[in-house]
Amino acid sequence: MFFRKSPWIIHYDATSCNGCDIEVVASLTPLYDLERFGIINTGNPKHADIFVVTGSVNESSRAVVKNIYDQMPNPKVVVAVGICATSGGIFRECYNVLGGVDKVIPVDVYVPGCAARPESIIDGIIKALDILERRSREFRKTKREARRQERKLRRYHLDD
């Protein structure tokens, strides 16, 4: 319910040229000031709700992206910033590039651009907030369902 008011992001650079990263960090500066929405850039997946990824994915960063995504607690959303994270960008045909981030993890919002402008990034994150809010409601529902199922199984001794 409060996800819209307090979304915490973790920002990871897969194989970005750092252009989009600089724009993400620029969004946190006083000129654009993401913190007025309550957004904090935590460096720690366990604290984060929104996973902001820049850059395409190759063999070494694939494991890392998966690892960080797995260490985030539900509900979570992924925002792919920049065209490289969306689809591989101009490096798509390179032998080491696997493609966009959605080859590894499910992406919710794509922010195109090379480099993506801070306004687009902010727009993308706000869109992600809607998805996050919806997902948190679903998450609560599924948790309740799972608990009810488990209680039913235990009552009828079907949980071995």
Partner 1 sequence: MGLEGHVETILFLILFPAGISLLLLSIPVKSVRRLIAVIANIALIAGTIHLLYESSGATVRFELESVWIERAMLVLEAALSVYILYMGVRFRRYLVVLFTLLQLGLLIHFETVAAPGIHVVHSLFADNFSIILALIIGIIGSFICLYAIGYIEEYHERHKESEDNRRVFFFLMYLFLSAMFGIVFSNNLKWIYFFWEVTTVCSFLLIKYHEDEESIDSAFSALTMNLLGGLAFAAGISYAGMYAGTLELDRLIADGGAYAVIPAALIAFAGLAKSAQLPFSSWLTKAMVAPTPVSALLHSSTMVKAGVYIIIKVAPALKGTLAAAMLSYLGGLTFLVTSLIAISQSNAKKVLAYSTIGNLGLVVACAGIGTNEAVWSAILLIVFHAVAKSLMFLCVGITEHKLSSKEIENMDFLIMEMPKVSAAMIIGISGMFLAPFGMLISKWATLKAFIDFNPVMAIILAYGSAATLFFWTKWMGKIITIKYGLKNLEKVVSPWEWTTLAVLSFMTIGVCIVFPVLSSALIEPYITEIFGASPSMDRFNIIIIMIIMLGLLTMLPVALMYYAWLDKDYKRVGTYLGGANVDNARFLGSTGAQRTADIRNYYLENFFSEKRLFDYGWVAAVFLVILMLGVVIT
Partner 2 sequence: MTPIDYYIHLDSIYLKAAIYIVLAPLLGGLLAGVDRKLSARMQGRIGPPVLQPFYDVLKLFQKEKIIVNKFQNFNVILFFVFMVFTGSLFFLGGDLLLVIFALTLAGVFFALAGFSVNSPSCHVGAERELIQMMSYDPMIILVAVGMYQVTGTFRVDAIALYDEPLILYLPGVFLGYLHVLTIKLRKSPFDLSMSAHAHQELVSGLKTEFSGTTLALIEIGHWYENVLLLGIIYLFFSFNSIVGVAAMLLLYFFEIVIDNTYARFKWELTFKSTWVVTALFGAANIIILYFAMRP
Residues near partner 1, by CB under 8 A:
12, 44-46, 60, 63-65, 67-68, 70-71, 73, 147
Which residue lies nearer to partner 1 by CB, 38 or 45?
45
- Placement of tokens 């798509």 in the chain: 92
Q: Return the SS3 of 54.
A: strand
CB of 55 to partner 1, least distance (A): 13
Q: In whole angstroms, what is the distance from residue 141 CA to residue 32 CA?
A: 36
Q: In whole angstroms, what is the distance from residue 80 CA to residue 58 CA?
A: 15
Which residue lies nearer to partner 2 by CB, 33 or 150?
33
Q: Count of CB atoms within 10 A of residue 128's CB?
A: 25
Among 1, 155, 157, 160, binds partner 2 (CB under 8 A): 1
Which tokens in the block code for residue 13?
């650079």
- Placement of tokens 């913190």 in the chain: 35
Q: Count of CB atoms within 10 A of residue 66's CB?
A: 13
Among partner 1, partner 2, none, partner that 158 touches (CB below 5 to 8 angstroms by kind): none
Which residue lies nearer to partner 2 by CB, 76 or 88?
76
Among partner 2, partner 1, none, partner that 64 touches (CB below 5 to 8 angstroms by kind): partner 1
The number of CA neighbours under 13 Å toward the Cβ of 152 is 6
Q: Binding to partner 2 (CB under 8 A): which residues in 15-44?
A: 28, 30, 33, 35-38, 40-44
What φ, ψ does residue 99 adopt, rounded to 5°?
Answer: 130, -155
User: Contact residues for partner 2 (CB under 8 A)?
Assistant: 1-3, 5-6, 8, 28, 30, 33, 35-38, 40-44, 46-47, 49, 71, 73-75, 136, 139-140, 143
